[in-house]
Structure 1
């Protein structure tokens, strides 16, 4: 990978990131040219400089931050043309670790390690074994979109994110196939940060557990009533009335227990899919 690739990739990322923004729904907070105030404060402190508003960030500081905290963090110089840009753009938007997870998941059986967001020897070896980088870029972008759809902020920024990912896909695939990529365009809403901390909550299993427990308790009660019915069988009217109550309680309890088990299955299934989309659980390569 050459230094010129980084500059070309950064030029397109900066178009997507735009200038200063502070959208109330953007978890990144005050951001300028894709650099959040938090990142800028840490950068300035690391240099022994006083913190200041990210509005005052210089072009040299922008390049230095992108070079060290994103390009180098994903080891883009060791990635193939196109893949480097796609992983780099994802790192800027959602953090290096998250973008690396999308790459690892997209590598499929070529990657033998865990989806841990670390660009190690195993990940790089798997990338070098890929024979179709065009298709790899498609899979990375698909994983990124799946992640974004599982964020609470999707309803606000989803259209912008979706358009950004599709443009990143197109540019990356052009580079991967040796074509001249299109110029990037600014996409309203596409610059909002997309962090795993803003994921949708998984459905709770507690309601299902409560329903199952109540159903089991009801079935126990119907058994008690059945014994009572047998004891009162000489009194036909009372016995008949209890019999009807037993049927109602048993049916209601069975439905409650089945519903509780069904909800628990649904909640666990949704939680598993959510964890896979977010990269918060081990996903089999």
Structure 2
């Protein structure tokens, strides 16, 4: 739901934190969860480490809205499901999060949320979707080679995402 984007973004920014350049992170340099590659694509040019450290919050909002929220059809997903899919998309990719949702609801798992996926989501129990997405995400994390390094944080994030998603689902909107 559109009303949930602001709350969802606020929470994602808390999860992601500030500038990070961890040598074991395959995503490379990030700031507020935005990878250098994504920022360079957005600006259509190469960026320096200094620019990554000083990424503009306005750019971050636009990137998250256009590259993640809009691609997962956040405005059209039920409250709670929207945030659950959005947070996973930010953390692990839009296609992966979208395919997980599609598998759970029995839609074609092509990684693109469209009318058929939305129709299937509409007829499913949102709370069950959130619970199954949370389980699928945990299973995904545990299979990653970097789990020993980042796993504790990922599982904590997943748990917090599930709690807020269920809360949003019960309230209907943020």
- TM-score after normalising by structure 2: 0.93
Matches within 5 A, 1:55-204: 55-107=53-105, 111-113=106-108, 115-130=109-124, 132-178=125-171
Cα distance change of structure 1 residues 21 and 75 upon mapping to structure 2, 3 Å threshold: same
Task: Describe the SS at the equivalent of 1:104.
Answer: helix
What whole-Å deviation, never above 9, does each CA across 1:192-220 have from its counterpart, x for those lacking one? xxxxxxxxxxxxxxxxxxxxxxxxxxxxx
Structure whose alpha-carbon radius of gyration is higher: 1
Cα deviation for residue 51 of structure 1 reads 3.0
Structure 2 residues without counterparts, runs of 5 or longer: none
Q: Which has the higher contact order (CA 8 A, sep 6+)?
A: 2
Number of corresponding residues = 172
Which residue is 2:16 aligned to?
A: 17
Q: Distance in 1 between matches of 2:4 and 2:23?
A: 34
- TM-score after normalising by structure 1: 0.58
Cα distance change of structure 1 residues 135 and 34 upon mapping to structure 2, 3 Å threshold: same
What whole-Å deviation, never above 9, does each CA across 1:182-240 have from its counterpart, x for those lacking one? xxxxxxxxxxxxxxxxxxxxxxxxxxxxxxxxxxxxxxxxxxxxxxxxxxxxxxxxxxx
Structure 1 residues without counterparts, runs of 5 or longer: 182-285
Task: Describe the SS at the equivalent of 2:164.
Answer: helix
